[in-house]
Amino acid sequence: MTGAAPSLRTDGLFTIDFARIPLEPFSEMPPELRTERFFRVNELTNAYVDARTRDVVAQMGVSAPVAADRSNVWQWLQRKLACAGKLTPGAVELRRLILEELPSLGPALDLIDAAFEGYPGFLRGERTGSSILFDPGAPELWNSYFSNANPLYAAGNILAAHAAALALDDQGGVKSSLRILEVGAGCGSAAEALIARLAGRIESYRLTDISPGFLRKARERLDVLEAAGPIARTYQLLDLNRPSSTWRLPALEVDLIHAVNVLHSVRDVVATLGGLGELLAPGGLLVLGECIRPARGQPVHPEFVFQLLDEFRNVTLDPLTRPEPGFLDAASWRASLEQAGFHGIRFVPDFVKAVAAYPAHSLGAITARRD
Ligand SMILES: C[S@@+](CC[C@H](N)C(=O)[O-])C[C@H]1O[C@@H](n2cnc3c(N)ncnc32)[C@H](O)[C@@H]1O
């Protein structure tokens, strides 16, 4: 990476010298992500997760009474600590330094802190992940996290929207009346980014999610988004873990399916992908935005929060398509998509090259087709 910013007080925490990251493997990323800021956001969040992981392990003590069904999470914390780079300052000081540099990372740190507070009770089997992460007393936690004002979350939305545009351009003869379906649309931040990227080319946009509260937020956001004005918008509750025959969606009527940070949490990823494939019109496009594991078994920082949730951990495993719970590695995504009948699978950026250049890289978009 060239054009490095002047050294800041947090530079000593990073796993890599930004000036040494080659740009070429990231050439397919949009310009706003080919920046030092993109890497700093990832590194700062990772350093904070390491500090909080250290705190959880210290609080539990060496002979922690961990509930049997939570032992894999306890092992994850040990593995994360084993791969943690430099010793970070304590979390309180680190939080201060990070916010001094990037105040917009506040919602990401708040979510990590909420998880941290709940970890001891969770590990002992006294609390569920959803009681920790969906505390009615903190309703803004997710709204501020699933937001394009949160640079950590926005990067995935920008990348997925960019990959969608690249794939549509590749198709030639650009269609200007796209019918879009989004699954796991949450609070609508990925929809905001896609609408901004494909302005003027969308006819209809159906947003679906399992959570009525999130969908309500999405509707509020899109109602005030000027670019969404001319688009016919519908909102529908949809549980991707239910058989696709119950989804109440007509087959072959969608040009683009958008799914940002959701498919890694479905129980049977190949079955869900297969169901989505049946909804696509001939030549239709599937666009996934995902945290992708740089290598099998390698912990990634978003797991600190998301592995508290049952649906993240309790999934159908398969040695080829789903070798471990939570986030998939690139080879497993490819195998899952192929088994579900997709072809023309493309990773943006080229994931193998990106990880070779920056071993902590874990953000990807995947596009694929079903004829
Ligand atoms: C990481 S969030 C995505 C947030 C969204 N991209 C946004 O911009 O706000 C994952 C979303 O998937 C939804 N989800 C989780 N499991 C699901 C399922 N089985 N079926 C449908 N949606 C699900 C969650 O409710 C959540 O809104």
Domain boundaries, the chain: 11-145, 151-370
The response to whether residue 239 sits with its C-beta less than 6 Å from ligand 1 reads yes
Three-state SS at 34: coil
Query: For residue 2, is pLDDT > 60?
Result: no
CA angle 355, 109, 69 (to 5 degrees): 75
* 189 C-alpha to ligand 1 centroid (Å): 11
Task: Please provide the size of the chain in residues.
Answer: 371
pLDDT at 63: 66
**Amino acid sitting at position 187:** C
**Global confidence as pTM:** 0.96
Task: Say if residue 6's pLDDT is above 50.
Answer: no
Query: Which atom of ligand 1 sits closest to the CA of residue 146?
Result: 9
Higher pLDDT, 174 or 215: 215
The maximal CA–CA distance of the chain, rounded, in angstroms, is 63
User: Does residue 214 line the site of ligand 1, with CB under 6 A?
Assistant: yes
pLDDT tens digits for 201-249? 999 999 999 999 999 999 999 999 999 999 999 999 999 999 999 999 9
Protein residue whose Cα sits closest to atom 17 of ligand 1: 210
Tokens coding 329:
């590695």
CA 143 to chain centre: 15
* Res 161 pLDDT > 70: yes
Superfamily for the 151-370 domain: Vaccinia Virus protein VP39 (3.40.50.150)
What DSSP character marks residue 348?
A: E
Measured CA to CA, the distance from residue 148 to residue 153 in angstroms comes to 7
Question: 308 Cβ partners below 8 Å, 6+ apart?
Answer: 73, 115, 118, 119, 122, 129, 132, 133
Answer whether 147 contacts ligand 1 (Cβ < 6 A): no
Between CA 105 and CA 98 the distance in angstroms is: 8
